[in-house]
Amino acid sequence: QSTWGPLSSKLANMLKHMVSQNKVRFIEDGFDLDLTYITPRIIAMGFPASGREGVYRNNIKDVERFFVTRHPEHYRIYNLCSERQYAPERFEGRAKRFPFNDHNASPLPLLHAFCEDALAFLAEHEANVVAIHCKAGKGRTGQNVCALLLAARLLETPAAALQFFADIRTDDGKGVSIPSQRRYVEYYAAVLGRPDRTIPRRPVALEQIVVHTVPSFDLGGGCDPYAIILDGATGHELHRTAVLSHHKKEERIVIDCGRLVVQDDIKIILMDKDSGSSDDRMCWFWLPPALVLDSGCTTLELRKEDIDNAVKDKKKRHFSPDFRVVVHLADAAGAEPVRAPDGQAAAAEASASDSGSESA
């Protein structure tokens, strides 16, 4: 027993370090946790797990002991995971959830609510600290931590906040990498720059999605494109455009959205229709239409590096280096925004879910 006890503990710590990858760990006072002080009062960490998962991730008992020991009665935990949670009595009942899906951006109202709650708690007592986590503690966590750094006026620009988080949280400077998450830090900075710090809500018509250069997803090249528009808050499908004929050598693709009237955050997925197999999810991106239009812009142009999934195509197998998407918007004052049917399951989001591990 004296041999296997220390050995199993060493193996468990090796697994924890392997799983936490490039993230800076807290190794002090007998703790070895995937946890980083971004500032003395803002903490980023990996999911506090139990059971077998607690062997290779942060063990929830160790995390509870950490906060009770180092920040007794002065901490609040924020769980950003939509896919997992723990009993509400854990962490002495001091945990809150602001959930959104892995590999996605947080809708602006949810992000704003999180920041307001965290700021209020930090203002209650100078000893109070907040700890934010998702699954890996980097992508969703990084987006929210950066937004909080801006809301607390600890940093002035989205670029500075994203770089600061990357430098402190990781040992290789690779922090938030998913384009929509990074862009939503910029969008939230725009909200903070408004006189009343409110998120604009107005009906906006989604007119066209113009794709410049044709993605290559079919045998022989090209694609049969269409778009799916999802409600950002629920993942419900709001609209599915007509499938266009095969495109290959054209300079651009024009996808008509039929002046779809939206109001809040949406997620647009560009699809390739396949016969005999499931359709390809080519790329996707999030946007807050009302905020974009309120800034005086009727178009939103995204380059390859700004678009989820397309950014990963380093070998140019599917997307040209000149690939870009332009979304055309228009004011729709007085129109009723489209809403998903009551009781509709988020099947579109499930079928178009973004695969892969949480690298951002």
- Give the pair of three-digit tokens for residue 152: 């607390």
Q: Which of 81, 115, 134, 257 is catalytic?
A: 134
- Give the pair of three-digit tokens for residue 186: 């910029």
Contact between residue 233 and residue 264 where contact means Cβ atoms under 8 Å apart: yes
User: Distances in Å between the alpha carbon of 143 and those of 71, 124, 163, 248?
Assistant: 24, 24, 11, 36
Q: How far apart are CA 87 and CA 93, in angstroms?
A: 9
**Is 223 a residue of the active site?**
no
Contact between residue 167 and residue 257 where contact means Cβ atoms under 8 Å apart: no
Segment 168-171 long-range contacts (CB within 8 Å, at least 24 positions apart): 168/24, 168/36, 168/37, 168/38, 169/23, 169/24, 169/36, 169/38, 169/44, 169/137, 169/138, 169/142, 169/145, 170/22, 170/23, 170/24, 170/138, 171/22, 171/23, 171/24
- Give the pair of three-digit tokens for residue 64: 């509870």
DSSP one-letter code for 15: H
Which candidate, 255, 217, 223, places its Cα nearest to that of 239? 255
CB neighbours (10 Å) of residue 178? 27
Q: Quick one: the chain helix, strand, coil %, rounded to 5?
A: 30, 30, 40
CB neighbours (10 Å) of residue 268? 23
Rg (CA), the chain: 22
Q: How far apart are CA 250 and CA 252, in angstroms?
A: 5
Residues designated catalytic: 134
